Chains A and B, each alone.
Chain A
Amino acid sequence: MSEQLSITASQLTKRFGDFYAVDHISFDVRKGEIFGFLGANGAGKTTAMRMLTGLSVPTSGTATVAGFDVYTQSEEIKKKIGYMSQKFSLYQDLKVAENIEFFGGIYGLSKSRLKEASEKLLHTLGFEHEAQAIVGSLPLGWKQKLAFSIAIMHEPAIVFLDEPTGGVDPITRRQFWNMIYEAADKGITIFVTTHYMDEAEYCNRVAIMVDGKIEALDQPKVLKQTFHAPNMEDVFYQLARKAKRSDG
């Protein structure tokens, strides 16, 4: 079972006082799947992601990530996942090579493997000449591609991407999705949030969160049929418009 499913969540809940940030959500993510996680601002996406990555303890419900329990085995989970968020993935004051070395090192890559992975990474990105550049001086699109490559350098079972393409130019955005596809082809499960609705179409399955609950979960094609919508943007709009607390 756990070989087939990367993430399982059942009645997963996070409550702050009497506010249910995440309200009894249940879903499974299959191995190698690109799973899109959409929702309006404040719908609970980030909180859900924080629980799955072991940054936050759920209030109730159960969840496993890579076969490990989020309550008791969060440290085991952390060895198996990669994580990249829009704003803060890399050290801006370190060089490209130094960031690679640091993150590779703390994931326990051996010296030889680190060297090999680092060379391969720089080569794939075409960054050989930028290895000694300070990350802060790179354009945003480059940083995001680098951050993603570093997040999957230790070959995690699952990588969590929190709005990875915000503000990136259209060409880089597509290159970025190519990288996501390649990672998925290698068997890495992708869990991604985004505000670009065309990107929702690239996912194998999409969950849409409204007011802390998952209101729809299926393949984009099926969702569009169910909601009689021409595109994912319309599906999202129909669901999220009903949200009561998007402005709480």
Chain B
Amino acid sequence: MNTLIYILKKEFRQIFRDPAILRMIFMMPAMQLLILPFAADYEIKNINVGIIDHDHSDYSRLLISKIEHSNYFELAAYSQSRAEGLKWVEDNKADILIEIPKNFEKTLIRENSATLALSANAVNGTKGNLGAAYALNVINEFNKNIRAEWLVLPRMNPEPIIQIDYINKFNKLSNYQHFMVPGILAILLTMVGGFLSALNIVKEKEIGTIEQLNVTPIKKYQFILGKLIPFWLMGFIILTIGLIVSYVVHGIVPGPNIGNLYLFTGIYVFAILGFGLLISNFTSTQQQAMMVAFFFMLIFILLSGLFTSIESMPAWAQTLAWINPVTYMVDVMRKILLKGAELIDIWPHIKTMIIFGILLNGLAIWTYRKQAL
């Protein structure tokens, strides 16, 4: 036990004496949370929409004005011919096309349903996809409003009910920042747990002090704990800084279930540290460790549902996404920060993450060699 304290003392001294690590801990979360959500947000707000209206009815105009008034769309062009519309897409003037068929209003009133054609420009996939998703939402709102109008017609004062529904949904869309911030926080935790811990251990290998430690009576578990605990604690520091920044800058109020977030983060960073340790076991220079970590980090981020929704991935990719620990952290982070999820809501994820933790750390400890064969 005493040995562990001496090791921890040394680790903390080294960490706090390394300006690069300090910058990484304190500046990185602040900078990323300040810049990334806005940068990502900017692009999505200016989706150019082209509308081809074959109907020219009240409802079609109502729909068009709804689209125009939402914050995301710029009405790029308005036409009556399909060919012209496709031309806009070709020229990159429009990201999505909404085609309102003839007799839209009539069918809507008569058959209680109508068909719209929505085409997205897949060249800038994110913009097109998100645009399409937003447009769908606006159309759904429109749809619901109409239905609500019809349904509540006999009753009095229906507006508030509809409004509330509308606002809720709308907010969820409008705050793309709210969507990004938790995800970025999750990635930051992953970087610190996976990257920094791996680099730290490999650094000892590179300068050779690990040899010196290997001839001392330090036990395997003491060495590993001595390396993991500081970075585990650092995870909480990063989370806290991140939450403060997202409250001050993005107005995200963590809510009453914030304790759950710290609980899950604790388990998550533990699992990810095992991953970092595993990387360090199989690399001998910081450069190698960096490359390996970077490779995995890219896959982790792309398959985590941070930028693209997991539901829209092909089945095989969805399977991969759910064996990616980062996915769970992103999901839990969003659930707690945006929905205020209860412990019971994230319970399945907690169980999965504990299994991840045991697997990754078990593998790491098993492959760590104090003695060369």
Contacts and interface: CB of A to CB of B under 8 A. Distances in A.
Interface of A: 50, 53-57, 74-75, 78-79, 81, 83, 85, 87-94, 98, 101-103, 105-108, 160
27 contacts: A54-B215, A56-B371, A56-B372, A56-B373, A57-B372, A75-B219, A81-B215, A85-B208, A85-B211, A85-B212, A87-B208, A88-B207, A88-B212, A89-B209, A90-B209, A91-B10, A91-B14, A91-B209, A93-B18, A98-B13, A101-B9, A102-B9, A102-B10, A103-B216, A106-B216, A106-B218, A107-B216
Given A54-B215, A55-B371, A105 B208 contact: no
A78 B6 contact: no
Contacts of A79: 217
A93 B17 contact: yes
A160 B6 CA distance: 24
Contacts of B371: 54-57, 74
B214 interface: yes
Which of A90, A102, A107 has the largest count of B CB atoms less than 10 A from its CB?
A102
Given A78-B215, A106-B217, A55 B13 contact: no
A153 B18 CA distance: 28
B34 interface: no
A222 B211 CA distance: 35
Contacts of A83: 212, 215
Contact of A88 (B3, B7, B209): B209
B171 interface: no
Nearest to A86: B208
Contacts of A88: 207-209, 211-212
Interface residues of B, number: 26
A242 B51 CA distance: 89
B2 interface: yes
A94 B7 CA distance: 13
Contacts of B209: 88-91
Contacts of A98: 10, 13
Contacts of B14: 91, 93-94
Given A91-B10, A102-B6, A108 B217 contact: yes
A235 to B, nearest CB: 30
